[in-house]
Amino acid sequence: MPSLVVNVASHCGFTDCHYTSLMKLSQSYLGEKLNIILFPCNQFGNQEPGTMEEIQAFIRSNYPGDYILFNKVDVVGENADPVFDFLSDSADKEPTWNFWKYLVASDGTVIDGWGPWVSVEDIEQYLVAATQMSSRDEL
């Protein structure tokens, strides 16, 4: 199953628009065919200062959805999580702020990455294509 991997923050100017879009995606037909993987990150503007329990409660109460929530990580620099090293290297795009999105095909190939100025709705065609490729591969 393809995955949309996002570095998230609870107190960012992009928080509401991106979490609302991720929640809608999770509740749509695409959400059943796509993993939505969230990595909280406090590297950009200290906008994710809470504990994991606080982050989980924030998401659950404000933007409920079927997400896979990982522990808080660094996404750039020498302490970057290996997942983000892989995503950044594969897409040749490194996060410069919160809500970077990477689309990963079901075979693990990184399809592309987008910054926070690109909405989930803007990349819907790529999400649809990735889920269709995944469905064909499963036949």
Query: Active-site residue numbers?
Result: 12
Is 105:133 a contact under the CB 8 Å cutoff? yes
Q: Which residue has the tokens 């410069």?
A: 96
Q: How far apart are CA 123 and CA 33, in angstroms?
A: 15
The Cα angle at residue 57 between residues 52 and 61, in degrees rounded to 5: 155
Residue 136: CB atoms within 10 A of its CB come to: 8
Using DSSP, state whether 4 is helix, strand or coil. strand
What element of type H or E holds 101?
strand 101-104
| CA end-to-end span of the chain | 13
